[in-house]
Every structure is written in structure tokens, then in C-alpha cells.
Structure 1
Amino acid sequence: MLSKTAILGFLLFLLAAPAFADSELDLNSLVSEALTENHEVLMANEKVFTAEFKIPQAGALPDPMFMFGYQNESWNRYTFGEMQGAQWMFSLSQTIPFPGKLALKEEMAAKETQSLKESSNGVKFRTVARIKELYYSLLYSTLFVETIEKRIALFLRVEDAALARYSSGVASQQDVLMAQTEKYMSLEKEIMEKQRIQTLEGMLNLTLGREVNSPLGKPVKKPVSPYNHTLEELIKTAYDNSPEIKARLMMLEAAKTKIALTKKDYYPDVTVNTAVAKRTPPFEDMWSLTATVNLPIFYKKKQDMAVMQARSEAESALHEVDAYKYMVASSLREMLSMVKTSESLIDLYQNVLIPKTYQEFELFLSSYISGKSDALSVISRLKSLLDYEILCDKQYTDREKAIAQIEAIVAANSLISDVKMEQPK
């Protein structure tokens, strides 16, 4: 049998493992906190604010150019006022793009900014899904530990029965060792799961934007609520609401605007220049007004190629939209299948396997005590009971994780729309 020292070491290590705080860990509160404190969300917001500054820049005229200089009529002396051609010169020029170019540039910048806004919303939905995933992983580990602790009493009953039969000389020492081994193996699983809880708490705090060792409450298992959405309904909602799809559609619109902009480059821009030449009497001052235009005579190598490039980029953006839609539909089908499968398995575990296996355990334990059964049959039923209860909790948390992924894909979370971005000071 295991030594008392080993048993004591196991129990001391188990008791030394940290316990949850008594307070309940509210999922909605975690989601709200992550939407305002998560660093990825904050960085995405900053990118949107940065892009908004580009819109007025895109629609602004090029900077005017001011020129000043002096013209002299001799190499060896200053002839201003003596020679007719000696003069101080000042000019101001302004380039005016062909009508419509600036408006198209501003429109393209606005659509790119809108795409970033939608991508920012996508970051928020993914963050919410990540919070829920970690929450339900933490819940599973908590339920795992609670199930082990709850079923230790059954292992003790088997151990007591084996010890009683061994003391009476009607059972072998092997029965006692088998019962104790299974009990301590369960304790080992409990200890390992408590270590996993610490890791999950750190990851959850990191996602919340907290210090890694910030205290957390205890996640609570809620009743299973019906999930009656069909695949067709979810796909339609995702196509209408998904920020990732909207972001790609905005980039497609920006690419189309770029096509129109590159076509404008076939037409010349105009640079207007006004100049003054300052002279002294008897020479009068001079002035001039000129207009300069660029001649796009190399359009086959420049403008034609630019238009073809813009069209290719738009075609690529269109394929990206379609590819992402197909991926969304595939992901929704997979997640919905997981939800339905988990619901069926939960029903099977709760209403058939767990109660049936518990009844078998009690029956075989009574038979073992009376000498009509062997210890292996009792222990195998107890191990199966423990496995079914843990698997049931696993299916519950997997179902909730799948629903969280669906909500992220179809952009279904009212808490996100309630969070307003504040411009940094």
C-alpha cells in the first residue's frame, strides 16, 4: 500500500492549491471590461482615429509655392536701378488638379477609414469570443475539480469496503491497492487541473488588460438555454452584419474608386503662376501670369498601366470578399454542428449514462460487500461515472464556446454597440 508519507504529501499539496474567490465571476462584466481595457481593442481604435486624419489631407490642394530671387545684368557689380534687366523677382504658384481628382482621393480615404472601423469592430467581437472561450475553459476546470472532490467520497466507500473485506480475510490486498490507486490518481488529476486553473486565470487577466495576478471570482454554470437558429438564418445574418465582410466590401469600394481616380490621370493638372519683377525708376515694375499643364503623352506606360493595376486590385478585393463569405459559411456550419452535437451528448449523459452508471455502481458495490462481485467491476463503474460527468461538463462548455464563436462571426452582441470610442487626448 501507499505510505502515509506519500498520502500526506498528496493532501498537503492539494490543500495548498489556490482556491477561487467566493464572489461570482460575471461573464457580461468581463466582456464590458475587455471592450474598454483590452489592448488590442484600444490599438484598433487608435488606428481608426489615425486614419480619420487622412481624409481631409487627401482632399486638400497641394501646397502653393513661393519664389523670390534677384536678376543682375553684370558679373562684377550690382546694377539694380542702373540696368533695365536688373530686378528683384517674386512669384506665387498653385497646382490645381484636374476637376474631380481631389474628391475621389477624399472618397477613397474615407472608404479606407470605414474599412478600418469595421475591422476595429471585428477585433471587438473576436475579443468577446476570446473572453467567453477563456471563461468557459475556466468553468470546465472548476467543474472538473468539483466533480473529483464530490466523487472522492465514492472512492472512499470502495476503499472502506475493500479494507473491511481484506480485514475479514475474504478479499485480497490487491482490492485495497486497486481502490487506493484509483483514488490517488483522481487526486492527481485534481491537482493538475488546479494548476491549469492558474494558467487560465492569467490568460483571462491578460485579455482583460489587468495584471496577471489580479483576483478573479468563480465562474458559474448556467442552465442550458435553447439555441434554435438555423444555418441559413445565421449565414444571412453574418453576410448582413459581419464587420469583417463589411471591411472587405469597403476595401472593394475603395478599389473601385481608385479605378476612377487613375482614369482622371489621363487629364492634365494646371499650375497657375503669378510673378512680379521689382525695378526702380525710370524702369517700371513688371508682372506676369502663366499657366502650366503636364502632358500625359506616355499614357501607354503610365496611365494605362495604372488603370489596369487598379482594376486588378479591385478584382482581387472582390475575390477576397467572396472567399471570406465562403469561409464564414463553412465556420458557421461547423460551429452549429458542434452546438447540436453537444446538446445531444449532454442529453445522453444527463438522462441516460450518468444515472444508469451510478445505479450500476451502487449495485456492484452492494454485491461486492456481500461477496457476489469483484472490486474491478465496482471500480470500473465508478471510473465510468466520473468520466461521464466530466465529459458532460466538457460538452456543456464546448457548446458555449461554439455559440460564442458563432456570435463573433454573425456580430451578435449588444454589449459591443453600447461601447463608444473616445478620441484620445
Structure 2
Amino acid sequence: MGKKRYFLSLTGRRFLLLLALVSCQALAEDAHSMNLQQLTQELRAQNPQFMQAEQGRLQIAAQIPQALAWDRPMVGMEQTPIPHGNLSRSQGTSYRLTQTMSFPGKKQLAADILQSQADSAGAQIDGLYVQLLAQLKTQYYQLLALQKQEQINQDTIARLEQLKQVAKVRYANNAAAFVDYMNAQVAQGSAENDIFQTRRQIAVAQQSINSLIGRNPVQPLLVQAQETGELDLRPLFELLDEAQGRHPALRDSAFQLEAAQKNVALAKKAYYPDMQLILTKISDHPPYGMAGNAYGLEVDLVLPTWFFQSEKAGVNAANAGMISAQAGTEVAWRQVQLEIANAYSQVQQVVSEKALLEQRRLPEARAAYRLALHSYANNAGDFNGLLLAQQNLRDTELAAAHIEGGLAQAIAALDASVGRGED
């Protein structure tokens, strides 16, 4: 009776696992399947952070024509004198058109500063894209690794089923204890439980990818593995040279320095006077008449402040901003160098670990399992040793899947540190 309850519980567990796998398969069939290139296109087109950043850049660019435009003209009318405050008895009427003009070069410098700021915003958008693309690649390769881990667990269940059958045959021939069968069953149940955990991790990775590409996080998603060529790890100094010309953070700091330098030039132009032109038409038919051909012209100079106190302070502030921007470019370059060096060493480490796994650990684990299974099937081996060999093989296969995904993620991090966008 105990055995019947035991096998009944096993049957129930199999049913639950089969039901879960069928449900996952149904979701996968309904999901929209995309490869990395398609995910990248969705990221650029749908991620709301790009829309927000692009509108910020357009907002700055829209100020450039405003900076170049002439100052607003001012139109006025003067009645003088007005005897006893009676406007209808005004003895003189004049109409004025006043136009303020900046010293030559001031408006162009202001527009150039805004252009540099817009270029800086564009570089920041490129930096945002590089950053989000690295996150997308990380989630993508992690998802592929989790899917491979799920397949490894399914293969483990199949191997343990084989072990159960071998133990069952030996038990029927009085060559092994029933506990061997039960131990294999316990190990199989553990592998089944790992599948459920892996499926949960897969769902989290899918939700993260959906969020990055601007979709509903719970929307079904199925990713396709994309073939990658052999790793061509260029020398570190070449990557540093490449980053100098393309990294968005470096271009951003360069544009900020350019804006700061032009701001210094604009601050120095504050020493030069602006001009105000006033054109007056004098009417001989007050208070509202326009008749008459008498005109007046007035030219005013808007001089700097007494002893140039305000102008000196403006130049000092602009110089401080330029020195800060120069330091910022140096900080940005040092940070990029550090990121590239760290990412480069991480790739080298993962490459070494992957080579060790593929060349030694994985072949040895497979050979040990085959030898242990052959020995046990021929009544010459210990079942605990066979279970240990199977567990070592499973752990090594999972490590290989983890290392493979880790290498792809490390390469994505290295690309991001150099400032690469789409391949």
C-alpha cells in the first residue's frame, strides 16, 4: 500500500511538470519571436527614454534661431506738451520706433553655445543608447543561458530516468537495494523543481526585455538565438584609440568644453557696448495725426557698468566654467579607460574559464558519467558514485551554459565601454 501511494505521488508530480511545460509551450507559440537585431530596432524605436531625451535636444535646438533673431522692436507715441492735462489740446505728437542691436558677434556666439549644447545632448542620447543596448544584450544572453539551463535540467531528468530503470533491473535481480531507485527518484524530483525555478527566472528576464523595448512587461516574448562569429579580441591599446573617437561620454565632454570656451568669448564681448537706434516721426497734427515730414534720429550706446565690475565677474565665472569643463573631459577619459580595462580583463578571464570547461572539465565529466553508468549496469559500481558522477556532469553542463552566456555578456560590456552601438 505504501508503494502504491509513493508511485501515485510520482505520477501526480509528472502530471504537474507536464502541465507546466505544455503551458509554457502554449505561451511560447503565442509569443512574438525576435532575434537580437529585431530587439535592438524595437529598443531604438519604442523606448520612452529616447523620446524624452530627443525632445530635450530639440528644445535646445529650437532656441538657436531665437538667439540669432533681432531684438524685439518697440513702438511708442509721445504727446507733449499737454496743457492742463487735456490730451485733445496736445501741442506736439511724435511716433517712435526703437530697435536695440547687440555688438557684432554676440548673437552668433550665443547661438554657437546653444549649438554646442544641442550637440552635447545628442551625444548624451547616443550614450543612453549604448547603455540601454548593453542592458538589452545582457538580458538577452542571460535569457538564452536560462533556456539552455532548462534544457540541461530536462536532459538530467532523462538521464535519471535511465538510472532508475537500471536500478530497477538490478533490484529485480537482487543485485541492488530499492534505495538506489528511491535516491534516483529524489534526484529527479530535485531536477524537476529546478525547472520550475528556471522558468520563473526566464519570465523575469522576458519581462525585463519587454520593458526595455517599450512593450508591456507581461506580454509574451520568445527570443531566437543569433549566431555570433568567433571572438576577435583586439589589443587593449586599439580599443582605447577607438574609444577616443567614438565614445559618447567623450564627445559629450568635448561639446561641453566647446560651449564653455565660447561662453568665455561671449563674456569678454560684454566689455563692448550695444547700440540702440530710435527713429522718430514728428506730426504737426496732434494729438493723433500722422501728417508732417519732420523726422528725428537718435543713436544710443549701452555702455558697460562703472569700472567693469559686472563684466569682470562674468568673465571670471566663464573662465571657471571652462576650467571645470577641461577637468571634466579628463575625468571622462580616465573613467572610460578604467571601464575598458576592467571589461577587457573580464573578457579575458571568461575566455580562459570557457576554454578550461570545454577542453577539460566537460569531457572529463562526461567520461566519468559514462564509466560510472557502465560499471553500475554491469554490477561493478556503487550507485552513490553513479549519482555523484551524474550530479558532477549536470553541474559542469550548467557551468558551461553560464560561462557561455557570461562571455557574451562580457563582450557586450566591453562594446559598451568602447562606446559601440549597433554592430
Q: Normalized against structure 1, the TM-score is what?
A: 0.88
Code of the aligned partner of 2:371: L
Note the aligned Cα RMSD (angstroms). Answer: 2.6
The equivalent residue for 1:310 is: 318
Aligned to 1:26: 35
Check the 8 A contact 1:35/1:127 in 2, yes or no: no
Report the secondary structure of 1:222's partner residue: coil
Q: Which is further off, 163-172 or 340-349?
A: 163-172
Out of 139, 142, 148, which is 2:147 matched to? Answer: 142
Q: What SS class does the counterpart of residue 289 from structure 1 fall into?
A: strand
SS at match of 2:84: coil
Identify the residue that residue 254 of structure 1 maps to in structure 2: 259
Q: Partner of 2:413 in structure 1?
A: 405
User: What's 1:60 paired with?
Assistant: 69
Matched, 1:71 2:80: yes
Contact kept? 1:104, 1:257, Cα under 8 Å: yes
State the AA in 1 paired with 2:204: T
Cα distance in 1 for partners of 2:140, 2:12 equals: 34
- In terms of mean alpha carbon deviation, does 345-354 or 65-74 score higher? 65-74
Q: Does the alignment pair 1:342 with 2:347?
A: no
| C-alpha contact 1:243 1:411 (8 A) present in aligned 2 | yes
Which moved further from structure 2: 216-225 or 150-159? 216-225
Corresponding position: 1:394 with 2:402: yes
Report the alpha carbon displacement of residue 337 of structure 1 after superposing the two structures with TM. Answer: 1.7
In the alignment, residue 375 of structure 1 is paired with which amino acid?
F
Letter in 2 for 1:206: S
Checking the alignment, whether the CA contact within 8 Å between 1:140 and 1:397 is kept in structure 2 is: yes
More deviation in 246-255 or 114-123? 114-123
Name the structure 2 match of 1:104: 109
Superposed CA deviations along residues 372-420 of structure 1, whole A, max 9, x for unmatched, are 43332222221111111111111111111222222233233456xxxxx
Give distance in 1, aligned partners of 2:353 and 2:86: 102
Q: Which runs of 5+ in 1 are unaligned?
A: 416-425
User: Hey, what's the Cα distance between the residues in 2 that align with 1:390 and 1:353?
Assistant: 12
Partner of 1:118: 123
CA distance, structure 1, for counterparts of residue 400 and residue 411 of structure 2: 17
SS at match of 2:217: coil
Q: 2:260·2:321 contact (CA, 8 Å) conserved in 1?
A: yes
Structure 1, residues 280-323: CA drift from partner, whole Å, max 9, x if none? 39x97754322222332345542212111111111111112111
> How far 1:10 sits from its partner (Å)?
4.1
- Residue matched to 2:371: 363
Moved more, 296-305 or 188-197: 296-305
Count the aligned residue pairs: 410
Shift in alpha-carbon separation, 1:78–1:225, aligned structure 2, 3 A = closer
For residues 72-127 of structure 1, the C-alpha deviation after alignment (integer angstroms, 9 at most, x for no partner) is 4322644536xxxx222311111111121111111111111111122222222223
Counterpart AA for 2:348: K
Give the equivalent residue in structure 1 for 2:193: 188
Mapping 1:289-300, distance limit 5 Å: 289-298=297-306
Instruction: Please tell me whether residue 210 in structure 1 is matched to residue 210 in structure 2.
Output: no
Identify the residue that residue 3 of structure 2 maps to in structure 1.
none
The verdict on how the C-alpha distance between 1:316 and 1:174 changes in structure 2, with shifts beyond 3 A counting, is farther
The residue type paired with residue 374 of structure 1 is D
CA–CA separation in structure 1 for the residues paired with 2:247 and 2:176: 66
More helix, by proportion: 2
Contact kept? 2:343, 2:417, Cα under 8 Å? no
Task: Tell me whether 1:324 sits opposite 2:321 in the alignment.
Answer: no
Change (3 A) 1:279 1:238: same
What is the CA–CA distance in structure 1 between the aligned matches of 2:255 and 2:70, rounded to whole Å?
25
Amino acid across the alignment from 1:51:
I
2:274 corresponds in structure 1 to 269
Equivalent in the alignment of 1:4: 10
Decide which of 361, 367, 377 is 2:385's aligned counterpart.
Answer: 377
- Give the Cα–Cα distance (whole angstroms) in 1 for the partners of residues 226 and 107 of structure 2: 57
| 2:304 counterpart SS class | coil
C-alpha change, 1:56 and 1:299, in structure 2 (3 Å) is farther
Q: Higher mean Cα deviation, 9-18 or 55-64?
A: 9-18
| Maintained 8 Å contact 2:35/2:226 | no
Cα shift at 1:368 = 3.0
Name the SS for the 1:99 alignment partner: coil
CA deviations 1:116-156 (Å, max 9, x no partner) are 12222222222322222221111011111111112211111
The 10-residue stretch of structure 1 (210-219 or 375-384) with the greater mean CA deviation from structure 2:
210-219
Q: Which moved more, 1:134-143 or 1:4-13?
A: 4-13
- Percent of aligned positions that are identical: 22
CA contact (8 A) 2:44 2:50 kept: yes
Separation of aligned partners in 2, 1:320 and 1:291: 44
Q: Give 2:40's aligned amino acid.
A: V
Contact 1:349 1:392 in 2 (8 A): yes
Judged with a 3 Å threshold, the aligned counterparts in structure 2 of structure 1 residues 194 and 224 are, in CA distance, closer, same or farther, namely farther
Match of 2:21 among 5, 9, 15: 15
Q: Provide the secondary structure at the position in 1 that maps to 2:99.
A: strand
- Which residue identity lines up with residue 20 of structure 2 in the other structure? L
Q: What code does the residue aligned with 1:227 have?
A: D
2:321 aligned partner, one-letter code: E
1:43-88 Cα deviation digits (max 9, x unpaired) = 333333222211111122211111124334322644536xxxx222
